[in-house]
Chains A and B, each alone.
Chain A
C-alpha cells in the first residue's frame, strides 16, 4: 500500500513553484538585505516585492506586513506586543475557547503580569458566535483574539460579524488566520481586524516563515529587540529565501485556491460518505458547512483514534494537533464544543490537500473501514451509539445542504444530492471500484 498524506493541517509539502522561487536565494551569492552593496540591494528588492504580494493578497498596505518566523511567533507578537501597550484600565483579554496554544499560552503568560483573561465559549461545532462574544465583553476588555479557522475540526468563525460586535469599542482585535489562509478567502481589508497571523507552511510555503499583518496606526512592542528590522517591530536578519517562498505560496493560492478548494471538498465529502455509508457510529466533529474545505474530523465511536492510526501506518493522519504536549490525549477543542472525552479520544483528523487523488481517498476509506471493523470486533462490547447508523455528509452547495449519497450517473455511481450530482462532485469511481 502506498503512503497517503492526510495531515495537511499539520504541515504541507513545499509546492514546486515555491521551491523554484526560493532556490536562487538559497544558492550562493546573496547578500544581507541590510547591506548597501549590490548583493544586499538585490535581496532587499526581493523582500520588497514579496511584501507587495502579501499586501495585495490580503488587501492592505505593504507597510502593514511584518515578516515573522511563523504562526506561533505571529500570535505571540500580536498578543504580547499589543497587550504591553494597553492602558491599565483595559487589561482584560478575551480569547476563543478553542484557540491554538500559541494564543492560549501567550495570554496565560500575560496573566502573570497583571492581565486578566476569559475564554469566549464556542457552540457545539466549535464556532464562536457574535452573541457569545458580545456577552463576554467587559468594560475593561482591551484585546480580543479569535481564530479564523479551527485547526482540529476546521470550523470557520464569522470574523466579519465578530468584528462588527467590536466596532466602535476601544478593543484591539487579533485574528489567527494560520489555518485559513490559502484554503478559504482571508482578507485583512474586510476582516475588521487590527492584527492577523499568517503561517506559510500551512499552504505549501516554507516552514519557518510567516507574516503578521498590523493595521496602520497600531504599534507593537517587539518580541525580538535588535537592529530595528521590519520598521522596528521585529528584529533579526530577514530570511530572504523564506520570505520569497511565502510570497510565492501566496501567488499560488491566489491563482488556484478556488479551484483547488472545490476539488478538495469533493474528495473530502467522498471520504466522509464512504466511511459513513460503510460504518455505523461515525460522527462528524465541527461544523457541517462552515468548515475548511480540506478538513474532516470524525469520531469512530467505541474505538480509539490512536488505535485506528496505529492500524493504518500507510495513512498519515492525526489524532489531534501536531504539538509537543504529549499529555493531552484529547484535543482541547472537544471540551470547548461540550463533547465528552470518549468522543474526543475516538476521533481522527483527516486533512486533505492539493496532491490527494481519488485513488488515494478510496484507499484511505477502504483501510479505515477495515481497521475500524477489526477493532470493533476485537473490542467485543461496544457502546450503543457505535451501532447507530451514521449520517451522510450534506451537499456543500450554498443553500442546498441536502444529504449526499451515491447515485447512478452517466459514467457510473456519482456522489450527489437529490437535486442531482453536484456539478463539482462528479467523481465517478475508477472502473472496478465497487460502490
Chain B
C-alpha cells in the first residue's frame, strides 16, 4: 500500500474529524436543524434533546455531571471565560492568579490582558527542565488573595502531563480554584474532575476528532459551587454563562467525539504509546545529538518533541515536506521566534529552532511512523553533511568555546 503524502503527524495542532462524528452530525444540518432555544415547536425540542445528550457524553468523559458543562466556541473561549469570569466574580476575594510560563497563549495572553487593565496580579511559574510544575513552589506561591491556579493538563507542544491530582489536592486544601486547560489531554488520558479536584476545565472539539469552532467548559456545581461571570452576554443560553444560539450540529459532534474517545481511550493510548516509542527509538538508533523535550514518560501518548542539533531549522522543515509536522506550537509557528515553551524549559535558541513536534493520532499507522523515521533521519543526515558544526561536535569540540571571527 502506498502512503498518502504528506503523512499527517500534527495531531496536537488539530485532528481530522472521525467519520463517526460526521455521521452523528449529519442529520442536524438539513433535517433536524431547529434552534435549541425555540420553545414553541418540535424542531426546537429535537435540537434541545440532541444538545442534552451531547452534554451527557462530554460530562461522562471527565467524570462530571451534565449540568456542569457549558458549550463554547472552543478552548480559547473556554480559557477566556475561566480566567476573566473568575477574576470578575471573585474580586472580593482578591485578584491573584497563578499560572505556568508554558501555558497555551489563550491563557498567557488573557492573563497579560488582565494585568494590563489592572484586574489581576499574575504569578507565572517557571516549570522544571522536564516541563513539570514544581509543587513546592506552587504551594509557596499561593496567597490568601489567590483566586485561581491555572495549570494546563497536558502541554500542546511538549506533551508533558502535569500532576493534576496533586495540584488539585493542594488547591482544594488552600481553597483556591483549580482551572485546567485540558484541550490536549481530554480523550487522550483519563481525566476525572472529582478525583483530581478540578473546578474548571476547558475542552476543545477539534483536538478530540470533533469539529472546529466548538468546545466546552466544565464548571463545578458543588463542593464548591463555582460561579463565573459571562464573557458573552445575550439571550441567557447555557445557564447565563454563554449566550448565543447553540451550534447544534457541532455540539452533537463534540458529544459523539467524547463518547468515542472514552470508549477507545485505553486501547488507543496503549497503541499510540507503542507507536510513539517506536518513533523515538527509530530516531535515536540512527541519529546522534538529538534531544527529547519534556518529561520522558509523563507525557501524552501521542506526542514527541525532538530537537535535532547541528541542523538549520528552516532547512529541516523543508527537507521534511512529506511530513505534516510543526515546529513550535501551531499558533506561533508563523513567526521565527523560537518557541516560548522550549525557552521556559531552558532549551537554547539553536535547539529550539530545530525542534520538531510529532503528534500521532487515531489514524496514524505503523507504516506512517516508519516513513516518518526514514524521512527525518534522511533529512537530518543530509543537512548535517553540509554542517561544519556537526563535524566539530563529533570530534568532541565544545562548540560553546569557539571564538567566532567577524568579517
Contacts and interface: CB of A to CB of B under 8 A. Distances in A.
A and B, one complex? Answer: yes
Interface of A: 3, 5, 7, 10-14, 16, 19, 26-32, 34-40, 69-73, 75-76, 100-102, 105-106, 108-109, 199, 201, 206-209, 223-229, 235-242, 306, 309, 313, 315-319, 321-326
Interface string B158-199: 000000000000000000000000000000000000000000
A326 B39 contact: yes
B98 interface: no
B377 to A, nearest CB: 19
B211 A26 contact: yes
Nearest to B363: A28
Contacts of B43: 3, 5, 7, 316
Contacts of A30: 14, 16
Contacts of A34: 13, 330-331, 333-334
B38 interface: yes
B34 interface: yes
B35 to A, nearest CB: 4
Given A13-B33, A239-B212, A102 B235 contact: yes
Interface stretch (B241-249, B261-269, B289-297, B304-312): B241-249
A228 B105 contact: yes
Contacts of B17: 26-28
B110 interface: yes
A101 B230 CA distance: 14
B332 interface: yes
A223 B231 contact: yes
A395 B281 CA distance: 78
Contacts of A28: 16-17, 19, 363
Interface string B217-256: 0000000000000011111110000011111111000000
Given A11-B34, A16-B30, A225-B106, A237 B324 contact: no
Interface residues of B, number: 72
Given A7-B44, A70-B245, A236-B73, 16 more contacts: A10-B44, A13-B29, A16-B30, A26-B25, A29-B8, A29-B16, A32-B13, A32-B206, A32-B330, A75-B234, A101-B234, A106-B234, A206-B29, A227-B104, A236-B106, A239-B213
B73 A225 contact: no
A20 to B, nearest CB: 11
Nearest to A23: B22
A11 B76 contact: no
Closest 9 CB pairs of A and B: A239-B213, A208-B247, A323-B235, A227-B331, A102-B234, A72-B244, A69-B73, A236-B76, A226-B106
A12 B245 CA distance: 12
A227 B106 contact: yes
A324 B324 CA distance: 43
B268 to A, nearest CB: 16
Nearest to B74: A236
Nearest to A349: B40
Given A35-B13, A102-B233, A316-B42, A240 B212 contact: yes
Given A35-B333, A227-B332, A237 B41 contact: no
A427 B197 CA distance: 65
A50 to B, nearest CB: 13
Nearest to A3: B42
A296 to B, nearest CB: 15
Nearest to A240: B212
B120 interface: no
A13 B244 contact: no
Contacts of B113: 225
B77 A236 contact: yes
Contact of B212 (A29, A199, A241): A241
B22 A71 contact: no
Contacts of B233: 76, 101-102, 105-106, 108-109
Contact of B76 (A108, A224, A317, A322): A224
B139 interface: no
Contact of B249 (A206, A319, A322, A326): A206
B247 A14 contact: no
B29 A14 contact: yes
A224 B35 CA distance: 25
Interface centre among A26, A70, A225 (most CB of B within 10 A): A225
B326 interface: yes
A143 B264 CA distance: 52
B245 A315 contact: no
B205 to A, nearest CB: 9
A199 B235 CA distance: 15
B106 A235 contact: yes
A102 B204 CA distance: 24
Contacts of B334: 34, 36
Interface in B34-56: 34-35, 37-44
B325 interface: yes
B236 A101 contact: yes
A102 B105 contact: no
A73 B244 contact: yes
A224 B243 contact: no
B179 to A, nearest CB: 15
B204 to A, nearest CB: 8
A117 B375 CA distance: 62
5 contacts: A11-B245, A37-B10, A102-B232, A207-B246, A325-B236
